[in-house]
């Protein structure tokens, strides 16, 4: 397969990354590994509670493998600089994910390199608490 | 002519009365809903604070968004789930992740889902709507008792009654549903669970909200389980709640909820 393991590059996953995806447990994700997918966007879903992306990646044996990439909610993506139009079907991208432990072609989104060369993540930024009202 | 009209009015009145109550029975005033203007207008002591606003769980507060560890001593029935959960976790697997399969998180977990919660306080009721799945909590404050146990429709967020007690809003919740409802991974909630929440505003000018939970569930653990959580008031527009629903076709795109490694 053309996608390659980036090895155990221990890119620190912030403590917030887990709960920010608080739809469900992420125990099936191997956070010790990164996989870089170089391929073509098949679909992109700008949806709640999770956005998602499907990326067609050429397989060594020929044909394509479709990777399912799980992302956080649009509200958090907007904080990281995303728009609903940031990626679209047909875009050539490079996507870094934390892969599923099962070995199935799927994983948790870390970052994308867009056709323009721009790199976007989904760093979950804590919302600013309301300032105390002045007396 | 006048006599005819009088007779007609009397007949109409008799018909109306007979439609409302059986012969011989006293007419019963319908109980007022929490949004009935006359219920809202009833004289009540001034509320010590107003929860109305948007709140976001404080991830820097001890315990953050999880309910445990520590855990109370579990019953043998609950311990089976807990042990299976920890075994799965050690193997990098997901155990009974019902929320990932679109089951409601339920109280108390819905309160710490790392999504904004919109709260609207009226004299008779507090509505809490989580940004996660738009889960609705209704805390009735108009003096009514809990719903008759023979009539209550069990639910994931339960039947909540609130009252003011000093500087706290005390919310007593019963009537929980007993399946696919978890306090934490491997810790089941049963239909014997009541939860008492002491809600207070703390911090400078009430910009932080604390809830002290006291949970008892003799089917799942021994004694009282006390946990305190904190939320920050968030006022910016981008923290408002929005429509969020869990859909089967969405889940088909979310690999970690679909993995064959998950233990259902």
Burial of B241 (0-12, 13-18, 19+ CB in 10 A): middle
| Radius of gyration over every alpha carbon of chain A, rounded to an integer in angstroms | 16
Strands (E), chain B: 53-57, 117-121, 125-130, 136-140, 159-165, 168-174, 182-184, 187-188, 195-202, 208-216, 224-233
CA gap B75, A15 in Å, rounded:
31
Which residue among B88, B234, B253 places its CB closest to the CB of A130?
B234
pLDDT of residue B9: 45
Nearest CA in chain B to A124: B114
* Averaged pLDDT score across all residues of chain B: 89
- Which residues 218-257 of B are in CB contact (within 8 Å) with A? 232-236, 238-239, 242-246, 250, 253-257
Residue B184, pLDDT above cutoff 50 = yes
Q: Residue B90 pLDDT > 80, yes or no?
A: yes
* Cβ–Cβ < 8 Å for B153, B168: no
Q: What does the buried/exposed string (b/e) look like for B178-214 if buried means 16 or more CB atoms within 10 Å of the residue's CB?
A: eebbbbbbbbbbbeebbbbbbbbbebeebbbbbbebe
CB pairs under 8 A between A and B: 131
Q: Are strands A106-113 and A64-70 parallel, antiparallel or unpaired?
A: parallel
Q: What pLDDT digit, counting tens, does each position of B20-59 carry?
A: 556 666 778 889 999 999 999 999 999 999 999 999 999 9
Q: How confident is the model at residue A13 (pLDDT cuts 50, 70, 90)?
A: very low
Question: Is the pLDDT higher at B216 or at B28?
Answer: B216
Mean pLDDT lowest among A62-66, A127-131, B257-261: B257-261
Q: Are B90 and B1 in contact (CB under 8 A)?
A: no
Residue B174, strand partner residues: B159
The per-residue pLDDT for B23 is: 65
- For residues B99 and B83, give the distance between their C-alpha atoms in angstroms, rounded to a whole number: 19
Q: Which of A20, A28, A75 sits opposite B94 (nearest CB)?
A: A28
A-facing residues of B in 72-131 (CB < 8 A) are: 88-89, 92-95, 97, 99-100, 113-116
Of A57, A5, A58, A59, the residue nearest A34 (C-alpha)? A5
- Residue A24 is predicted with a pLDDT of 67
- A69 CB neighbours in chain B (<8 A) are 255
Residue in chain B lying closest to A126 (CA): B59
| CA count, 13 A, side-chain hemisphere, B23 | 2
The residues near A16 (Cβ < 8 Å, ≥ 6 apart) are: A124, A126, B59
DSSP B175-237: -B--SS-EEETTEE--TT--EEEEEEEESGGG-EEEEEEEEE-TTTBSSEEEEEEEEEE--SG
Q: How far is A81 from chain B (nearest CA, A)?
A: 13
Mean pLDDT lowest among B13-17, B73-77, B113-117: B13-17
Tell which A residues from 71 to 130 touch B, by Cβ distance under 8 Å: 73, 75, 78-79, 100-102, 104, 106-108, 126-130
| Chain B interface, best mutation among A21, A130, A133, A134, by max B CB count within 10 A | A130
| Contacts B253 to A, Cβ<8 Å | 43, 45, 50, 52, 54, 68, 70
* Helix, strand, or coil (residue A78): helix
Cα separation values, B10 from B15, B22, B29, B75, Å: 9, 18, 22, 66
Mean pLDDT of B167-177: 97
Cβ atoms of B150 and B134 closer than 8 Å: no
What is the interface pTM, i.e. ipTM, of the complex? Answer: 0.75
- Is the model's pLDDT at B121 over the cut of 90? yes
Confidence of residue B120 (pLDDT cuts 50, 70, 90): very high
What is the Cα–Cα distance from A9 to B236, expressed in whole angstroms? 36
Distance CA B87, CA B90 (A): 5
So what's the pLDDT on residue B256?
A: 73
Q: How far is A80 from chain B (nearest CA, A)?
A: 13
Full-model pTM: 0.83
Q: Which residues of B touch A30 (CB under 8 A)?
A: 92
């Amino acid at each position: 397969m053309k996608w390659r393991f980036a090895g155990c590059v221990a890119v620190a996953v912030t403590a917030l990354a887990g709960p920010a995806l608080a739809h469900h447990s992420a125990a099936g994700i191997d956070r010790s590994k990164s996989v870089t997918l170089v391929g073509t966007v098949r679909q992109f879903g700008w949806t709640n509670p999770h956005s998602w992306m499907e990326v067609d990646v050429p397989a060594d044996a020929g044909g394509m493998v479709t990777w399912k990439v799980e992302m956080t909610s649009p509200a958090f993506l907007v904080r990281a600089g995303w728009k609903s139009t940031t990626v679209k079907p047909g875009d050539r991208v490079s996507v870094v994910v934390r892969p599923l432990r099962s070995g199935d072609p799927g994983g948790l989104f870390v970052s994308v390199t867009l056709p323009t060369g721009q790199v976007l993540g989904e760093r979950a930024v804590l919302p600013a608490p309301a300032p105390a009202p002045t007396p | 002519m006048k006599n005819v009209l009088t007779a007609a009015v009397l007949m109409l009145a008799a018909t109306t009365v007979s439609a409302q109550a059986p012969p011989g029975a006293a007419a019963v005033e319908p109980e007022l809903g929490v949004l009935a203007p006359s219920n809202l207008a009833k004289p009540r002591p001034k509320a010590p604070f107003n929860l109305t606003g948007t709140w976001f769980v404080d991830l820097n507060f001890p315990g953050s968004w999880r309910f445990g560890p520590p855990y109370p001593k579990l019953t043998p029935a609950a311990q089976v789930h807990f042990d299976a959960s920890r075994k799965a976790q050690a193997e990098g697997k997901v155990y009974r992740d019902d929320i990932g399969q679109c089951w409601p998180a339920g109280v108390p977990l819905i309160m710490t889902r790392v999504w904004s919660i919109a709260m609207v306080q009226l004299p008779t009721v507090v509505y809490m709507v989580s940004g996660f799945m738009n889960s609705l909590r209704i805390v009735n404050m108009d003096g009514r008792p809990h719903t008759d146990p023979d009539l209550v429709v069990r639910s994931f967020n339960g039947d909540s009654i609130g009252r003011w007690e000093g500087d706290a809003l005390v919310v007593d919740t019963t009537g929980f549903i007993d399946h696919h409802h978890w306090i934490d991974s491997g810790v089941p909630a049963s239909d014997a669970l009541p939860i008492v929440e002491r809600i207070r505003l703390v911090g400078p000018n009430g910009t932080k909200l604390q809830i002290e939970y006291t949970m008892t569930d003799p089917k799942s653990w021994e004694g009282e389980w006390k946990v305190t959580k904190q939320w920050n008031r968030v006022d910016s527009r981008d923290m408002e709640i929005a429509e969020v629903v869990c859909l089967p076709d969405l889940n088909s795109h979310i690999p970690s909820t679909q993995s064959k490694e998950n233990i259902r």
